[in-house]
Amino acid sequence: MPSKGKNSWSPNQQNKPDKNQGDPNKKPGMPEGFKFRFSLGYVLIALIAVSFFNYFLFRSDNTVVPYSTFKDKIRTGEIKRVEIDINYYTGYTDARSSEPASPLPATAKPGVVYKTVPVTDPEFTALMDQKGVVYSASPREGSAILSLLLNWVLPFAIMFFLWRTVMSRFMGSNSNVLAFGQNRATVVAEGDIKTRFTDVAGVDEAKAELVEVVDFLKNPQKYTEIGGKIPKGVLLVGPPGTGKTLLARAVAGEANVPFFKMSGAEFVEMFVGVGAARVRDLFKQAREKAPCIIFIDEIDALGKSRMSGMIGGNDEREQTLNQLLVEMDGFDSTSGLILVAATNRPDVLDPALLRPGRFDRQVLVDRPDMIGREEILKIHTKTIKMDPSVDLSKIARSTPGFVGADLANVVNEAALLAVRAGRKKVKEEDFQNAIEKVVAGLEKKNRMINPKEKQIVAVHETGHAITAAFTPGADPVRKISIVPRGFGALGYTLQMPLEDRYLVTKEELLGQIDVLLGGRAAEELVFHSISTGAANDIARSTDIARRMITDYGMSEKFRNVALTKRGGSIPGMPQIADPYATKEYSEDTQRYIDEEIASIVDERYKHVQNLLIQKKDMLDRISALLLEKEVIEETEFAALTAELTSPSAAAASSKA
Ligand code: ADP
Ligand code: MG
Ligand code: ZN
């Protein structure tokens, strides 16, 4: 805590709550780990509660008189009945309630009551006998039990409550410490699931695979008769938001079987053994409910390769994973139990999970293609009032790379924008604006940028756009904007591919680097200085260059050699940057890679600089226009580049 600069502590400083001295991001009053002050507060409250309780219970309604006075009252015959109790002698001035057939309940207040604290006095009973006082030594049972409760049970209860509160705070979760080994309330089977395959679109291959699973759950005998083996586990693999969770629910819905859902992270607990017990319990419950589906979402949290990751590993996770493997081996595929799991990190999964007899069927849930996107849009626009002129296929065409969750988001945003514009129906332009919004984050028109910065941003973005326009194979520029959006992006150049792409050539990769470098090159050319605005571009272009060398085997020295190894990756699955990817090369090679990256980037930068020098006039004109209009659309940009291209260059770039 560097802010704690003062070493002298004045007394009143000590008493102040320390919320201003700690981490400024922390919520005031939140305990930092185990904080003594925190539990002390609870103890105090408990103490006050106990004494309050005590006070009310043992408060005498009557004044306690001295013992001598009490004895006098017996002597004078005023007290006719005495109840002897552990703590008090209680004298009553009438004897009514002592009779067995008394109409009054014992609790009723009969006559005047005197109380006294007894002293050791052997003559007391003799005196009472002499005076004919009715006396009984039956203590009120209730009070005996109460005092037992207060003296023994309550303190323990309070201690337990405190311990539990502190523990749960300490663990940073609200898990019930006592209930470890048992299931949480969340793992109840969901029955009667409404999701159907028709609610999922654009993932036809995955659906086709899962139809068989549904059929098996519906009529298992069909498969067992013929001796066929049904997979025990189906692993849904794909980028986030492609509908994996949705598909798993649809399987349960179609088959009309109970659905146990749990996420991988929920199995990994504070205490070693808890997750394993939870797995055991989950399978036990599921076996009782079979046929049914167990769905483990984000299984990578649990099934990370036991080798990779942190040093020393994680005992709890390993035990849980082992238990899962044991359970998977333990059940028979004829039992009607099917395990479905989902992950977007198949590369980090423990290979043991993917072995035959476990998750032996892997289903790729990929990003939807254009037709798939249109289908998904149809599903999500069902409940939306749309203008008949809206063309969903056009929207699908302009959203390459969007996953189902993005498209659902677009539809929702479009509806909101229509409402904001006071329309009763959603129009085409609402969709276009929604797409932009989803692509680039929320428009922040009211953010102030100073004019100089704005000028730099305009030149930078125009640099990207012109480089893209004159790079063969680069995606066409759809829009250039210097309206700040989202977090930190001051402007953007929107490029959209004409079609879905699955392969990228080396030339196209270099072209991507060119376009990324175009922003900075333009800045340098116009202002003779460079800014931090290109940080993201630099990071991305460096990454492309690195992967060309290490992953795609595109360098001179290591032609067709992969230099990193990725564990357990599934063919057909898009490569995801993997922090744990192991390096399979020497220090020398590392140096070579670094030098090669630098040389690729440098060469491309020189190329882009040359291109922009040739197009300097165009750069100036378009950036000035962009500064004025803030946004330049695709058609306008194409017209400008065509118009401004000098006759000699026109032949070279006929596409513009
Ligand atoms: P994942 O589990 O793959 O990350 P989800 O299944 O949670 O993705 O998807 C989130 C939401 O996005 C779904 O509830 C649904 O509304 C929408 N969605 C995603 N993919 C699809 C799809 N293929 N078809 C229809 N809707 C989809
Ligand atoms: Mg999910
Ligand atoms: Zn840029």
The ligand whose atoms approach the alpha carbon of 205 most closely is 1
Catalytic residue among 209, 254, 269, 461: 461
Are 64 and 44 within one domain? Answer: no
| pLDDT for 31 beyond 50 | no
Residue ranges with strand state E in 93-219: 113-116, 134-136
Let me know if residue 625 belongs to a domain: yes
Let me know if residue 16 belongs to a domain: no
Per-residue pLDDT, 331: 77
Structure-token pair, residue 604: 């491309």
Per-residue pLDDT, 616: 94
| pLDDT for 91 beyond 70 | yes
Residues 6+ apart with CB under 8 A from 500: 369, 370, 400
CATH code at position 77: 3.30.720.210
Per-residue pLDDT, 431: 92
CA of 517 relative to ligand 3 center, distance in Å: 8
Structure-token pair, residue 306: 């036991």
Confidence of residue 24 (pLDDT cuts 50, 70, 90): very low
Are 601 and 560 within one domain? Answer: yes
| CA atoms within a 13 Å half-sphere pointing along the CA-CB vector of 134 | 12
The ligand whose atoms approach the alpha carbon of 239 most closely is 1
CATH code at position 611: 1.20.58.760
Let me know if residue 465 belongs to a domain: yes
Per-residue pLDDT, 169: 62
Query: pLDDT tens-digit profile of 586-598?
Result: 888 888 889 999 9
Query: Between residues 77 and 13, which one has the greater pLDDT?
Result: 77
Query: Between residues 237 and 111, which one has the greater pLDDT?
Result: 237
Let me know if residue 24 belongs to a domain: no
Distance CA 28, CA 180 (A): 31
Are 269 and 155 within one domain? Answer: no
Residues 6+ apart with CB under 8 A from 183: 278, 281, 282, 285
Confidence of residue 43 (pLDDT cuts 50, 70, 90): confident
Are 418 and 360 within one domain? Answer: no
Are 378 and 436 within one domain? Answer: yes
- Who lines ligand 1 at CB under 6 A? 200-203, 240-246, 342, 376, 379, 404-405, 408
Let me know if residue 381 belongs to a domain: yes
Let me know if residue 233 belongs to a domain: yes
Are 358 and 419 within one domain? Answer: no
| pLDDT for 555 beyond 90 | no
Last residue of a domain, one of 405, 440, 475: 440
Q: Residue 441: which of 510, 491, 376, 513 has the closest Cα?
A: 491
Per-residue pLDDT, 654: 43
Percent of the chain with pLDDT over 90: 21
| CA atoms within a 13 Å half-sphere pointing along the CA-CB vector of 90 | 22
The ligand whose atoms approach the alpha carbon of 536 most closely is 3
Per-residue pLDDT, 652: 46
Q: The tokens 């099917």 sit on which residue?
A: 338
Distance CA 262, CA 279 (A): 10
Let me know if residue 118 belongs to a domain: yes
Per-residue pLDDT, 151: 78
Are 214 and 117 within one domain? Answer: no
Distance CA 376, CA 380 (A): 6
Q: State the average pLDDT over residues 205-225.
A: 84
CA of 442 relative to ligand 1 center, distance in Å: 22
| Residue 461 a catalytic site member | yes
Q: Are 115 and 91 in contact (CB under 8 A)?
A: yes
Let me know if residue 84 belongs to a domain: yes
Nearest CA owner, ligand 1 atom 7: 245
Query: pLDDT tens-digit profile of 180-214?
Result: 444 443 466 777 788 899 999 988 888 988 988 88
Q: Are 486 and 440 in contact (CB under 8 A)?
A: yes
Atom of ligand 1 nearest to the CA of 202: 23
> What are the φ/ψ torsions at residue 444 (nearest 5 degrees)?
-125, 75
- Find the Cα–Cα–Cα–Cα dihedral 303, 309, 312, 314, rounded to 10°: -30
Percent of the chain with pLDDT over 70: 74
Distance CA 336, CA 606 (A): 64
Structure-token pair, residue 616: 């300097």
Are 387 and 494 within one domain? Answer: no
Per-residue pLDDT, 347: 77
Query: Between residues 524 and 99, which one has the greater pLDDT?
Result: 524
Query: pLDDT tens-digit profile of 451-501?
Result: 788 899 999 999 999 999 999 888 889 888 887 654 456 777 777 776 766
Confidence of residue 573 (pLDDT cuts 50, 70, 90): very low
CATH code at position 236: 3.40.50.300
| pLDDT for 522 beyond 90 | yes
Amino acid found at 490: L
Per-residue pLDDT, 89: 83
| pLDDT for 18 beyond 80 | no
The pTM assigned to this predicted structure is 0.55
Q: State the average pLDDT over residues 74-86.
A: 83
Are 611 and 507 within one domain? Answer: yes
Q: State the average pLDDT over residues 88-96.
A: 77
| CA atoms within a 13 Å half-sphere pointing along the CA-CB vector of 603 | 9
Confidence of residue 54 (pLDDT cuts 50, 70, 90): low
Per-residue pLDDT, 201: 92
Per-residue pLDDT, 528: 93
Nearest CA owner, ligand 1 atom 27: 404
CA of 343 relative to ligand 1 center, distance in Å: 13
Quote the domain boundaries for residue 337: 186-364
Nearest CA owner, ligand 1 atom 25: 200
Atom of ligand 1 nearest to the CA of 246: 6
CA of 408 relative to ligand 1 center, distance in Å: 8
Are 270 and 410 within one domain? Answer: no
Are 253 and 284 within one domain? Answer: yes
3 state DSSP class of 361: strand
In the annotated binding site for ATP, the residues are 238-245
Nearest CA owner, ligand 1 atom 17: 405
Amino acid found at 289: K
Instruction: State CA 233 to chain mean position distance.
Output: 25
Atom of ligand 1 nearest to the CA of 372: 23
Query: Between residues 624 and 55, which one has the greater pLDDT?
Result: 624
CA of 378 relative to ligand 1 center, distance in Å: 14
Query: Between residues 380 and 228, which one has the greater pLDDT?
Result: 380
H helices then E strands: how many in the chain? 24, 14
CATH code at position 433: 1.10.8.60
CA of 347 relative to ligand 1 center, distance in Å: 22
Considering 27-31, 55-59, 175-179, the range whose residues carry the highest mean pLDDT is 55-59
The total domain count for the chain is: 5
Amino acid found at 378: K
Query: Between residues 425 and 49, which one has the greater pLDDT?
Result: 425
Confidence of residue 19 (pLDDT cuts 50, 70, 90): very low
Strands 361-364 and 477-481: unpaired
45-49: Cβ within 8 A, 24+ apart: 46/158, 46/161, 46/162
The ligand whose atoms approach the alpha carbon of 247 most closely is 1
Are 357 and 390 within one domain? Answer: no
Query: pLDDT tens-digit profile of 354-377?
Result: 888 888 788 888 878 778 889 999
In the annotated binding site, the residues are 238-245, 460, 464, 537
Q: Residue 495: which of 637, 334, 373 has the closest Cα?
A: 637
Atom of ligand 1 nearest to the CA of 249: 6
Query: Between residues 616 and 291, which one has the greater pLDDT?
Result: 616
Q: Which of 198, 246, 377 for a ligand 1 pocket mutation test, highest count of atoms within 8 Å of Cβ?
A: 246
Last residue of a domain, one of 440, 461, 481: 440
Confidence of residue 170 (pLDDT cuts 50, 70, 90): low
Per-residue pLDDT, 9: 36
Residues 6+ apart with CB under 8 A from 375: 201, 202, 368
ω into residue 472 within 30 of 0, thus cis?
Answer: no
Nearest CA owner, ligand 1 atom 18: 404
Question: Given CA atoms 648, 653, 654, 656 in this order, what sign does their dihedral have?
Answer: negative
Confidence of residue 142 (pLDDT cuts 50, 70, 90): low
Mean pLDDT over the full length of the chain: 77
Atom of ligand 1 nearest to the CA of 200: 24
Q: State the average pLDDT over residues 233-245.
A: 89
Q: State the average pLDDT over residues 286-303.
A: 85
Last residue of a domain, one of 440, 465, 498: 440
Query: Between residues 36 and 510, which one has the greater pLDDT?
Result: 510
